[in-house]
Amino acid sequence: MSNGTCLKKPDWTTCDREVDAMFCTGQDCACCRDKKCERTAACKDQGGYCIRKKRNTGKNHVCNGREVAGGCGPTNCVCCVPTPGK
C-alpha cells in the first residue's frame, strides 16, 4: 500500500491517521494510512489511536479499552484508548 505503513499493536498509538487491519498481515498488525480519521489532541493526549467503524465486521478492529468521543474527527471514526497491559 503506497499511502500507509504497517505497525505492530504497541505502535498503533503513534499513528495520527487511521489504523486499519485490512492491509497488513500478521497477528496484531495494522496499517497506519491516510483515510477519513484524524486524531485530535484529545485522543493523542490520552494515548489513543483512531479506528473507523465499518459495516463489515470481517477484519475490523474492536476497541479493547475505552472510546473517547470526538477524538478522531467528525466522521464515523472512534478514538480508542487501550487498556493498560493489552
**What average pLDDT score do residues 28-51 get?**
86
pLDDT of residue 61: 65
* Segments making up each domain of the chain, as ranges: 4-82
Confidence category of residue 30, pLDDT binned at 50, 70, 90: confident
Percent of the chain past pLDDT 90, that is, above it, reads: 9
pLDDT of residue 73: 79
Q: Per-residue DSSP letters for 30-56?
A: EEEE-SS----HHHHTTT-EEEE--S-
**What average pLDDT score do residues 27-51 get?**
85
Lowest mean pLDDT among 46-50, 56-60, 61-65, 80-84: 56-60
The count of residues in the chain is 86
pLDDT of residue 1: 41
